[in-house]
Structures are given as structure tokens and as C-alpha cells.
């Protein structure tokens, strides 16, 4: 049996959750691997949620918000967009592939796009394989082994 990734999705109430709803009412098919949590805004997504999801066995986390400029709360999605790169850096430090976290803009009318995003992300995670938490060896003295490459040790 092939590996079926488990994806946790945080969908913003106004655009992406409605978009996902539209994909459903339009009977569009996408992999059942994603389970969604509705948040009022992508800006509500605390990086803590993302790490908690990985800790609880998620293989990937998908965050969907309104397109830039279309946020119901004016600029919540911008706040989210600034947090995600930082979170990805932290993931790298923790030894989690940053590709396991994805931020996408899906508007309320883009059921088709939602379908594509979920399908694509599921496929990508299938390639990456399961996230093995016990493989991750965290050494606080060497937070990012890659960044130290080529640096002369004193």
C-alpha cells in the first residue's frame, strides 16, 4: 500500500473555507488526505499550531487565505504571509523539510484552485514520504548544520 500523507489544513473563513465548500458543492474530487480546521483569518494561524500539528503526526500543513488585497480583515493575510517564512526557517532548524508547510491563496470562487492545491500538495508529500519525528536529531549547539557548511571552526 502506498503512503497516504496526513495533511492538516487551516482555511480562512471568508475565502478559502468558502472555496473549499464550493469545491464540495461542485462535486470536485480531491484527495481525502487533507482535514481542515476553520479559522476566521489566516492571520489567526499561530506557528504553534503548525508545530503542534507536526507533533501530532501531520505530514504536511496547508494554510489557505484570501488573495493579497482581498482579506476580509484588510491585512490579516499579509501578517500570515510574513509569519510563514519565519516558521519555515524554524522548521529547517528543527529538521523538518520546509516544503511540508505550504501557504496558498484561494478565493471564495476558486473551488477549482482549491482542488488543484490539495491534489498537488498531497502528491508532493507522497514524494517526501512520512515525517518521522524520531529521525529528527536536534542539537541546540548546532541549530542549522547547513548554515555552518564551509565555516571554519574555531
Rounded Cα gap, residues 2 and 115, in angstroms:
21
Residue whose C-alpha is closest to residue 34's, from 49, 15, 13, 53: 53
Torsion of CA 106, 111, 114, 115, to 10 degrees: -170
Q: Does 74 bind other proteins (CB under 8 A)?
A: yes
Q: Does 86 bind other proteins (CB under 8 A)?
A: no
Binding other proteins (rule: CB under 8 A), the pick from 16, 33, 107, 122 is: 107
Q: Does 104 bind other proteins (CB under 8 A)?
A: no
Q: Does 6 bind other proteins (CB under 8 A)?
A: yes
Residue whose C-alpha is closest to residue 15's, from 63, 78, 69, 67: 67
Angle between helices 16-25 and 111-128 (to 10 degrees): 100
Q: Does 88 bind other proteins (CB under 8 A)?
A: no
Q: Does 133 bind other proteins (CB under 8 A)?
A: no
Residue with smaller CB distance to other proteins, 55 or 153: 55
Rounded Cα gap, residues 20 and 23, in angstroms:
5
Binding other proteins (rule: CB under 8 A), the pick from 23, 96, 106, 108 is: 108
Residue ranges in contact with other proteins by CB under 8 A: 6, 8, 14-15, 18, 25, 35, 37, 39-41, 43-49, 52-53, 56-58, 66, 69-70, 72-76, 79, 83, 107-110
Amino acid at each position: 500500500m502506498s503512503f497516504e500523507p496526513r495533511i492538516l489544513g487551516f482555511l480562512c473563513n471568508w475565502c478559502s473555507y468558502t472555496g473549499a465548500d464550493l469545491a464540495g458543492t461542485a462535486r470536485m474530487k480531491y484527495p481525502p488526505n487533507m482535514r481542515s480546521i476553520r479559522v476566521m483569518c489566516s492571520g489567526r494561524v499561530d506557528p504553534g499550531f503548525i508545530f503542534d500539528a507536526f507533533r501530532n503526526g501531520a505530514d504536511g500543513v496547508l494554510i489557505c487565505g484570501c488573495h493579497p488585497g482581498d482579506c476580509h480583515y484588510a491585512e490579516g493575510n499579509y501578517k500570515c504571509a510574513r509569519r510563514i517564512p519565519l516558521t519555515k526557517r524554524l522548521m529547517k532548524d528543527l529538521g523538518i523539510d520546509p516544503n511540508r508547510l505550504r501557504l496558498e491563496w484561494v478565493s471564495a470562487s476558486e473551488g477549482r484552485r482549491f482542488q488543484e492545491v490539495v491534489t498537488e500538495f498531497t502528491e508532493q508529500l507522497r514524494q517526501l514520504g512520512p515525517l518521522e519525528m524520531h529521525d529528527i536529531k536536534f542539537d541546540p549547539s548546532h541549530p542549522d548544520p547547513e548554515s555552518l557548511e564551509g565555516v571554519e571552526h574555531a
